[in-house]
Structures are given as C-alpha cells and as structure tokens.
Structure 1
C-alpha cells in the first residue's frame, strides 16, 4: 500500500492514525510526507512493514523517528531534528539509504550506524556533528555514497575508507579534519574547507606544510 501526501502544504502534527493503519490488516510500504509544514509526530509512530519513509523538507524537530526495521529508505533531511537514537544502526537492519542532511544534529555520529552494513547511501551533511570518523566506517562494505560535509568533524580521515570498493562519491569538505588524505580518487571538492588536510588531490604538500610551520617557529 502506498501513500504520497508530498507537496500539499499540510501543517501541524502527523496524525497517529497513520501509524495504526497496519493494525487493520493493511501494510504501508511507501509513505511520502515531504515538502509540507509538518511540525511533529503523534506517539506512537511505529509502523510495521514500512519500506520507504520520506519526511524531508518539513518543520519537524526533536529526535529523528525510527521506522520499522524493514525500512530500506529513510529520508529525514531539511528539517530541524536535533538527535538520532543511539541504536539506529542496530534497529534498521535493511536500510540502504539514510539521509539526515540539513538538520540541527549535534554531538557524535551514533556508533551503531556503522553496524548498518546494508547502507549504500549515507548523508549527514550540513549539521553540527562533532568527533572523529571512526575506522568502523570500513564495515559499510556496500556503501556507494558518503556525505559528511559541513559539520565539525575532526582528526584524520580513516584509511579504512579505501577498503570500500563500491564507494563512488565522497564529500567530507568543510569540517576540521587533519592529516594526509588517504584516498586520491576523489576530486579536490571532496576535501576543501579542512585547513589541516594535505596531500593529493589538494595542492598542499604534507612535507611542505611541515617545513612551513618549522620556518614560522624559527621566526
């Protein structure tokens, strides 16, 4: 069963009856509520059998709702969400696309997200996420697209990213990353805005940077 209510100027809360439809013998597989003016969700909001949930471009805040573990596509981008449940990666066993871009997320990326080994697309760009990108990102062996740009992530880019043979898009620009770039197959635009990064494809020599710092100290 499919329900597409996108682009309808719907306002207020998402009614709880939507989440109870499955109790009457009908199963929503596809639910699109994007491009409205929805502000919050009535509890409880669990829906069994849901494969596709699109909430992007609304006015939703608080914690990103977690659909049934069967969900394969979850888009919560362009809202005002502030947090993701810590166990998100353990809950969404089948998720292939997860986007929470352009929200108000703070803190570290939930470690459980790196357990969602079916992920093909992960977009957490344009938030205020901090901390480092862990080596566990190498667990996402099916990942094709990773966008962590415009956050406050720090430390080095993990070399484990090089193990992701299907990765065809990477963007970690405009963070606080440092060190030598471990992947050269992506364009300069994937890395710009990180003053501490060096090496190809950036036109910044890691050795040259070291010498430059040394001379400054001598002065």
Structure 2
C-alpha cells in the first residue's frame, strides 16, 4: 500500500510527464487515454506514461482537433471530447485531474457511489472542498475524501493542494482548466489557488450516461497492454 509521500511523488511525476508531451517534446502529443492503468511505476516509484496507441501529435499552433470516433476509457474522458469529439491538451488535463482525485481517495471515478447523494467522485469532491471557501476554520471536509490508509502518513497541506489542483483540472469548460505547466507549478508552490468552477458530469449525471446520450459518437473502451 503506497503512503502519502509516495502518492504525492507519483502525482508530481505524472504532471511533469504530461507537461513533456504537451510542451517539451519535439512534437506536441495529446495522449487521449490517460488513466491509472496507463501509468507504470519503476522500482523507485517514478511514474512512466505508457500505451500511446491512441495518441495524436501536432505541429505548430494547431493543437486542437475533432473526431466522430471518440476513443478512450469511461471515467477519464473530458466532456467536450465525449459529447462533441473535440480534443486538445485540455483533454489530457481533465484525465490527469481525475487520476489525482483517485490517487488521493483510493476510489475510482467510474462507478463511485455515496449514500447521501448521487454525484460521481468529481461532484463529491467539489462538495467537500467548498468547506474551504465557506469557512476557513473548517478544513476537515476535503480530508474526508482521503483514503483511510493515508491518515498516518499524510501531509495535510499537500493533500489539500492536490485535491484543489485536481478540481481545477476537471472543470467542465476546457478553457477554465489550467495548462500542465500551471499544474506543475501549483503543485510545488504555496501560493493561493483560484476557486474551481463546477466539475464535469456533476449533479448526479455519470459520465457513461452523458456519453451514451450522444448517439452519433462511438466510445471505445481500451485497457493497458
């Protein structure tokens, strides 16, 4: 079982790996299928992004595209891609945000359920983090998301910051999401973060329901090889 320092190290490593694909490699690469199953760990717990079978590369300033065949894995696909077939670097940012919230909580976004509401994991986290903005003296709300196995090893400011950054990445509108460069900087800084807006697939509407309602598109669920 990974402790919190190990998980935070993985989050930072994933962010830097995606930043390399989006900005630092010779060609800008959009992975399109970032998920937990495609993140491999070496002996030192350094994350390695794998399975580039669905990746697309871009040259120059043309970094967005549209397709009628939506591919990826339920639970990690951004709303603009799932419904309209639009994908960009912000699609990968969304997937990264989902993975961050899953790493902190130890729960999967797809299939998440709660006895008090019908929101998915993203909506549940959004409800918890509003405690931070409603009353600064009450900071236990987001910690409720954390996997119980992390209680003995967690560094509370890092946990809160990771949750907050994760929510910024899964905002419904792509233009509201940060770039991966901003994500890397936010994770290692101590400055104030903007308040996240409503996450995608909120108010009890699961991702699979949204995707299935767009009948003109096809979802191909893939798994790491």
Structure label with greater radius of gyration: 1
| TM-score of the superposed pair, with normalisation by structure 2 | 0.24
| TM-score of the superposed pair, with normalisation by structure 1 | 0.25
